[in-house]
Amino acid sequence: MGKPTGFLEIERIKETYEPVAQRLTHYREFVPALDDAAAKLQGARCMDCGIPFCNNGCPVNNVIPDFNDLVYRQDWQNALSVLHSTNNFPEFTGRVCPAPCEAACTLGINAEPVGIKSIERAIIDKGWENGWIVPQPAAQATGKKVAIVGSGPAGLAAAQQLARVGHAVTVFEKNDQAGGLLRYGIPDFKLGQDVIDRRLAQLAAEGIVFKTNTVVGSGDIPAGIVNDATTVVTPAELNAEFDAVILAGGAEVPRDLPVAGRELKGIHYALELLIAQNKQVAGGAANPINAAGKHVVVIGGGDTGSDCVGTSNRHGATSVTQLELMPMPPESEDKPLVWPYWPVKLRTSSSHEEGVSRDFAVQTQGFVGENGQVKAVKLVKLDWASGKPEVVAGSEFDIPADLVFLAMGFTNPIASILDAFGVEKDARGNAKASTDGQGCYRTSVDKVFAAGDMRRGQSLVVWAIREGRQAAREVDAYLMGASNLPR
């Protein structure tokens, strides 16, 4: 611990945001990394606890007190080494992770927690700026070939781990560029595509082959899921060419809202807006959905809904309303009750700060249209006092809506891909595979493994990285009889 009294003397240093009026004019990132002096002070607040709960609060088990101390001492290269020892892609988690590590910070019991996420971002950005992050190709090849289906965070983490021990890795992606959720599910103003591209360049230099516009399975992709594929590869072809396969696609099937008027024009799944916008920002075709001058309603109170709010405001929407089925959570958590676990509390994102009306404990009863176009949403208030939602009699009301985005989460991965491999599914439609013990991450089909959202369901980027790393170790052990990759 560099400064034993730091947590007593120094307040949490919060990252600065570009002013709302300015950032609404573009889709670039607007949160700069901490400078050296601020990062040093932030690191000085770490108490180096005897039991660092932050380590276990972090899904990839980052060695947080160690890199905090190294940043306090301004030993940036060793801090980068410690950070990379557990996390392949800190530049992603340092931008989009909700930071469960901070919820578990011991200092957070009675004060503001250490800004761990901001320190992580500062370390990795400095690493890129100074050229410390370079390709690390394997010293020798094993002669084994691994196919990875899906190029999101789980697939990329597994690919990098396996390539670095000498396996020939090919990543298959159905869309036109690699990155999966990172590229197509998160707006550029939260995670710039240049940040993704520079890491993909490193992976390619390490020998990883990316085959985009290629769908694996039967090619039967449900409506509502973006699919740029021009080539279909069957499981039989993969089994013939590769020694192991990792299924690492996302939980992409969106939750629908089958109420009256669902067929009206102007009602879209959230990713129909977000993916098209990311493609436009990258120089592609204009987004066919335009919220300019419209009343926008976002149904769903999570991160995807927040991203729809931020994107709609950048379009120039007249109004944006976000609806949530659950009651409004408390503004502050009951720390003695929940610490060090992730608390339920009201969370206001940067997109919310840009302009939104939020309504909690409401249920959508239907949509009202005019000439086939949605014009309003019919709602009713809910009473959660009993612990179950009960409709409040006489509480029906309508709100105007020219555009509606369904952002209620995702139910499961694409069933046709799992069915094509003959993989057993769990009760939620995910690939069935355990995460502990002998044979973990293996599916019911020989030499086929599963990791990330395809195995666990909709989750966080940081959980996907963890599962990709752990699955890589199991694949390496399967191919070689043993593995030195970290668990």
pLDDT at residue 300, rounded to an integer: 97
Confidence (pTM): 0.96
Cα separation, 297 vs 378, whole angstroms = 11
Phi and psi angles of residue 254, each rounded to the nearest 5 degrees, phi first: -75, 145
| Domains of the chain, each with CATH number or no CATH | 6-129 (1.10.1060.10), 145-253+411-480 (3.50.50.60), 256-408 (3.50.50.60)
Is there a contact between 351 and 306 (Cβ–Cβ < 8 Å)? yes
Buried b (16+ CB within 10 A) or exposed e, 455-470: bbbbbbbbbbbbbbbb
Q: ∠ CA 235-202-88 to the nearest 5 degrees?
A: 80
Cα separation, 40 vs 413, whole angstroms = 42
Is there a contact between 210 and 204 (Cβ–Cβ < 8 Å)? yes
Buried b (16+ CB within 10 A) or exposed e, 139-168: eeebebbbbbbbbbbbbbbbbbbbbbbbbb
Is there a contact between 430 and 459 (Cβ–Cβ < 8 Å)? no
Cα separation, 47 vs 188, whole angstroms = 35
pLDDT at residue 2, rounded to an integer: 75
Cα separation, 276 vs 102, whole angstroms = 33
Q: Which residues contact 442 (CB under 8 A, 6 or more apart)?
A: 433, 448, 449, 474, 478
pLDDT at residue 487, rounded to an integer: 80
pLDDT at residue 307, rounded to an integer: 98
Give the Cβ contact number of residue 429 at 10 Å.
Answer: 16
pLDDT at residue 134, rounded to an integer: 98
pLDDT at residue 92, rounded to an integer: 98
pLDDT at residue 73, rounded to an integer: 97
Length of the chain: 487
Dihedral sign for Cα atoms in the order 56, 62, 63, 67: negative
DSSP 313: H
Per-residue pLDDT of the chain (487 residues; tens, 9 = 90+): 678 999 999 999 999 999 999 999 999 999 999 999 999 999 999 998 989 999 999 999 999 999 999 999 999 999 999 999 999 999 999 999 999 999 999 999 999 999 999 999 999 999 999 999 999 999 999 999 999 999 999 999 999 999 999 999 999 999 999 999 899 999 999 999 999 999 999 999 999 999 999 999 988 998 889 899 999 999 999 999 999 999 999 999 999 999 999 999 999 999 999 999 999 999 999 999 999 999 999 999 999 999 999 999 999 999 999 999 999 999 999 999 999 999 999 999 999 999 999 999 999 999 999 999 999 999 999 999 999 999 999 999 999 999 999 999 999 999 999 999 999 999 999 999 999 999 999 999 999 999 999 999 999 999 999 999 999 999 999 999 999 999 8
